[in-house]
Structure 1
Amino acid sequence: MTPATTDTPARRPGVGRVWLLGWPALVHLVLDLLLAVVFLTVVLSAVGTALGSITLVALPVLVLTLLLAFGMVGAERWRIAVFLRTWVPPMERRPPHLPAWRRIGLDPRPWRSLLYLTLMGLWGLTGGLLVTTLLAGSLVALAAPALPDGAVLLGREVAPWVPWPVAAGGAVLLLLMPFLGWVLGHVDVALARLAISSDPAAREAALSARVETLTETRERAVDSVEAERRRIERDLHDGPQQRLVAIAMDLGLAKQRLSTDPGGVEELLDRAHASAKEAVVDLRRVARGIHPPVLTDRGLDAALSALAARSPVPVSVHVQPGPRPPARLEAIAYFSVSEALTNVAKHSGATSARVDVETREVDGRPVLQATVTDDGHGGVDPRRGSGLTGLRDRARAVDGEVLVSSPPGGPTVLTVRLPLAPAPTTTGGQP
Structure 2
Amino acid sequence: MSTPALLPGPWRPLPARLWLDGWWAVCHLALTVLLLGWYVTLFVLLVLGTALTPVFLTGVPLLLLARVGIRASQWVERWRQEALLGEAMPAQPVRVSPDARPWWRRWLLDAQPWRTGLHLLLVSTYGAVAAGVVVGLTGAALGALAAPLAAGGDLAWPFVQPALPMPVPVPVVVVAAVLLLLLVPLLARALVVPETAAARALLGPTRSAREAVLERRVESLTVTRERAVDSVEAERRRIERDLHDGPQQRLVALAMQLGMAQRALERDPAAAQRLLDKAHGTAKEAISDMRFVARGIHPPVLTDRGLDAALSALAASSAVPVRVDVDLDPARDGRPSATSEAIAYFCVSEALTNVAKHAGATRAHVEVRRDGDLLVLRVSDDGVGGACPSEVPVPAGVSGSGLRGLADRVASVDGWIHLDSPVGGPTVLTAGLPWDRRDGSGSRGGAR
The normalised TM-score by structure 2 is 0.57
Change (3 A) 1:200 1:328: same
Number of the residue aligned with 2:119: 116
Give the superposition deviation at 1:256: 1.0
Equivalence for 1:302: 309
Structure 2: runs of 5+ lacking an equivalent: 6-26, 42-72, 95-111, 130-193, 390-394, 438-448
How many residue pairs get aligned? The number is: 289
Q: Distance in 1 between matches of 2:412 and 2:344?
A: 12
Alpha-carbon separation, structure 2, partners of 1:117 and 1:73: 17
Aligned: 1:255 with 2:254: no
User: Are 1:42 and 1:65, in contact at CA under 8 Å, matched by a contact in 2?
Assistant: no
Determine whether 1:393 maps to 2:408. yes
Q: CA deviation at 1:94?
A: 7.9
Q: Aligned-pair distance for 1:360?
A: 1.5
| 1:270 match | 277
Sort the Cα spacing of 1:204 and 1:244 in 2 relative to 1 into closer, same or farther, 3 A: same
Q: Cα RMSD over matched residues?
A: 3.8
Give 1:2-151 correspondences, 5 Å limit.
43-48=32-37, 66=77, 70=81, 90-92=89-91, 115-116=118-119, 118-119=121-122, 122=125
Amino acid at match of 1:393: D
Aligned to 2:185: none
Are the aligned partners of 2:89 and 2:203 in contact in 1 as well (CA < 8 Å)? yes
Going from structure 1 to structure 2, the CA distance change for 1:348 and 1:188 (only over 3 Å counts) comes to closer
1:163 corresponds to which residue? Answer: none
Letter in 2 for 1:412: T
The structure 1 segments of at least 4 consecutive aligned residues displaced by more than 2 Å after TM superposition are: 38-45, 47-52, 62-75, 109-126, 187-197, 382-386, 419-422
CA contact (8 A) 1:66 1:110 kept: no
The one of 348, 355, 359 equivalent to 1:348 is 359
Distance 1:222 1:72 in 2: 45
Residues 42 and 416 from structure 1, CA distance in 2 versus in 1: closer, same or farther, beyond 3 angstroms? Answer: closer
1:367-409 deviation per Cα after TM superposition (whole angstroms, max 9, x unaligned): 1111111110111214423411011001101111111111111
Structure with larger RCO (C-alpha < 8 A, sep 6+)? 1
Q: Which residue of 1 aligns with 2:350?
A: 339
After superposition, what is the alpha-carbon deviation per residue over 1:114-134, rounded to whole angstroms, capped at 9, x for unaligned?
8526327647999xxxxxxxx
Following superposition, the deviation at residue 197 of structure 1 comes to: 3.6
Q: Is the CA contact (8 Å cut-off) linking 1:67 and 1:110 kept in structure 2?
A: no
AA aligned to 2:321 is P
User: Which TM-score applies when normalising by structure 1?
Assistant: 0.59
Aligned to 2:247: 240
Q: Do the aligned residues in 1 keep the contact of 2:89 with 2:200 (CA within 8 Å)?
A: no
Cα offset, 1:43, TM superposition:
4.3
- Deviation track 1:73-123 (CA, whole Å, cap 9, x = no partner) reads 969x9xxxxxxxxxxx9542687xxxxxxxxxxxxx999778526327647
Task: Tell me the residue number matched to 1:289.
Answer: 296
Counterparts in 2 of 1:211 and 1:256: CA distance versus 1, 3 Å: same
Q: Deviations over 1:120-172 (max 9, x none)?
A: 7647999xxxxxxxxxxxxxxxxxxxxxxxxxxxxxxxxxxxxxxxxxxxxxx
How far is 1:39 from its partner?
9.7
The match for 1:414 among 410, 420, 429 is: 429
Conserved? CA contact 2:369–2:375, under 8 Å:
yes
For structure 1, the residue ranges without an aligned partner over 5 or more in a row are: 2-37, 53-61, 78-88, 96-108, 127-186, 423-431
Identity %: 54
Q: 1:278–1:119: structure 2 CA closer, same or farther, 3 Å change rule?
A: same
Contact 1:43 1:114 in 2 (8 A): no
The aligned amino acid for 2:341 is E
**Greater CA deviation, 187-196 or 386-395?**
187-196
Q: Aligned-pair distance for 1:420?
A: 2.4
